[in-house]
Amino acid sequence: MAIPTDKSAHEDFHNEDDAYLAKRTLKSGSAGWLLLAGLGVSYVISGDYAGWNNGLAQGGFGGLLIATVVIAGMYLAMVLGMAEMSSALPAAGGGYTFARRALGPWGGFATGAAVLIEYAIAPAAIATFIGAYVESLHLFGITDGWWVYLAVYALFIGIHLTGAGEALKAMFVITVIALVGLVVFAVSAWDSFDAGKLTDIPADPAAVGSSSFLPFGYLGIWAAVPFAIWFFLAVEGVPLAAEEAREPEKNVPKGIIISMLVLIVTGSAVLFLATGALGAQAISTSGNPLVEALGDSSAAELVNYIGLAGLVASFFSIVYAYSRQTFALSRAGYLPTSLSVTNARKAPMLALIVPGVIGFTLSLTGKGAMLLNMAVFGAALSYVLMMISHIVLRVREPQMPRPYRTPGGILTTAFALVIACAAVIATFLVDRTAATWTLVAFAGFMAYFGLYSRHHLVANSPDEEFAALAKAEEELE
């Protein structure tokens, strides 16, 4: 189905007064490229500690390795495309802002809704992992995870309410601790590494193309894709900090590219060293793969505690991401406008609290793996729409000022688009129920927009002004 642009849609716009926008402003200049790079790493770093290893049960080491290489290529291409769009359109909407300009209100909201689904559900999945960690470490005598879910949501939403600068600095410190944990793991696991253990899963003779390297055959590569995504999921959220960054046209592209390069290094190290230390078969079902790979050692105990910091870092940062996506969509009228009101510290209160309540409710299911797959579906769908946006903007607006330009242009983002489409389909291979429920949620968002919010859009919000400017320039030409 074609997504209508401004010329074919029938949306109703209105202007709000200065007081409306004054109540919906973020604190600019809170982050330079270093904090932005730290934000990108913190979004993802929990994926190095847990979750990825389940891909070994789907594709074996060879299948997960090939899937990871392909997905890393997709993310790198996508990040380069987003770096260009964020330098040209620095607003808090991130992918929604890019798609709004390229694909009109329907395409913009579809992208924003997919991103919001990803960011609202991912913290719920991570909260269940944090709860499992706390229980396994016997911390505070807690034996029921829901207390942990409630505590982390309340604590980190509270910190975010104090302001972006303070929250980003706290995230950066936690992320550095988590990175130190990965270094400790890598050094310790090196002594136990055995290349033979990488391929110790028996080959399935019924699978086409099966071997010791690909025990589940060629289809196993595709089935491992959603787990390979966990090495990089949410790094695309860096542009959501654009309105709070210093010189966003320079620092946002720099921050997202550096964070992606760091994540390629950490993901590669974890995949090879953890699997080679414990063995693909044993680690494929582990709930704490890095610790189990180190066995009974002091390093394992240290990494176990630091692993909690990794999970906290991702939880903390994705709460930031969902609040900014909700803020941007609300300020422009796509979601109820009350969600974008900011407090005295310029933090969007209800945009932090309401998705947090929804996420906490989802976490009570305790189904972390299912929630993870739901988040991956939303992410992959948003990637498809964002890459289409880059291609459309390059073709339709070649003269748009772009302080940073994607190497390879539309060929780079076309590659990411093809892989993202395959990733959407792959989510149904792993968990059809999770993908279907996420699709239903996405349809619900689109129904809300079609029936109500498209008739109540705010023309003078920053994201809509970007699009209006483009339309005016097109008419002048």
Q: What is the DSSP letter of 239?
A: G
Give me the number of domains the chain comprises: 1
Q: pLDDT (tens digit, 9 = 90+) per residue, 405-444?
A: 999 999 999 999 999 999 999 888 888 999 999 999 999 9
d(CA 385, CA 230) in angstroms, rounded, equals 19
User: Structure tokens of 284?
Assistant: 């494929």
Structure tokens at 220: 């196993």
pLDDT tens digits, the chain, 477 residues: what are they? 344 444 444 678 888 888 888 888 877 766 788 888 998 999 999 889 888 998 999 999 999 999 999 999 999 999 999 999 988 888 767 888 899 999 999 999 999 999 999 999 999 988 888 887 777 777 666 666 688 888 889 998 998 888 766 677 888 888 999 999 999 999 999 999 999 999 999 999 999 999 999 999 999 998 899 899 989 988 988 888 887 788 888 888 899 999 999 999 999 999 999 999 999 999 998 878 898 899 888 898 898 888 888 888 899 889 988 998 999 899 999 999 999 999 888 889 999 999 999 999 999 988 887 898 899 999 999 999 999 999 999 999 998 889 989 999 999 999 999 999 999 998 888 889 999 999 999 999 999 999 999 999 998 887 776 666 656 555 555
Q: Burial code of 149-158, b = ≥16 C-beta within 10 A, e = fewer?
A: bebbbeebbe
CB of 236 closer than 8 Å to CB of 36: no
Give the phi and the psi of residue 56 in degrees, each rounded to 5: -65, -30
For residue 342, the SS3 value is strand
Centre a 10 Å sphere on the Cβ of residue 51 and count the other Cβ atoms it contains: 24
Asked if 345 and 161 count as a contact pair (C-beta separation under 8 A), the reply is yes
**CATH code of residue 40:** 1.20.1740.10
Q: Are strands 13-14 and 457-458 parallel, antiparallel or unpaired?
A: parallel
Q: Which of 274, 285, 257, 316 is nearest to 182 (CA)?
A: 274
Task: Flag whether 468 is in a domain.
Answer: no
Q: In whole angstroms, give the CA distance from residue 72 to residue 76.
A: 6
Rounded to whole angstroms, what are the CA distances from 59 to 70, 356, 416? Answer: 14, 34, 22
Q: Residue 164 belongs to what domain range?
A: 29-458
Domain assignment present for 396: yes
| Residue 7 covered by a domain | no
Q: Is residue 12 part of a domain?
A: no
Residue 328 CA to residue 316 CA, distance in Å, equals 19
Helix axes 248-278, 164-190, angle to 10 degrees: 30
Tell me if residue 245 falls in helix, strand or coil. Answer: strand
DSSP letter string, 26-45: --TT-B-HHHHHHHHHHHHT
214 within domain boundaries: yes
How far apart, in whole angstroms, are the C-alpha atoms of residue 158 and residue 322?
A: 15
Whole-structure pTM value: 0.87
Residue 20 is assigned to a structural domain of this protein: no
Distance CA 396, CA 386 (A): 15
Which residue, 355, 384, 386, 381, is CA-closest to 439? 381
What SS3 state is found at 458?
strand
Q: Do the Cβ atoms of 94 and 385 come closer than 8 Å?
A: no
* Residue 290 falls inside a structural domain: yes
For 366, left (φ over 0), alpha (ψ -120 to 50), or beta? left
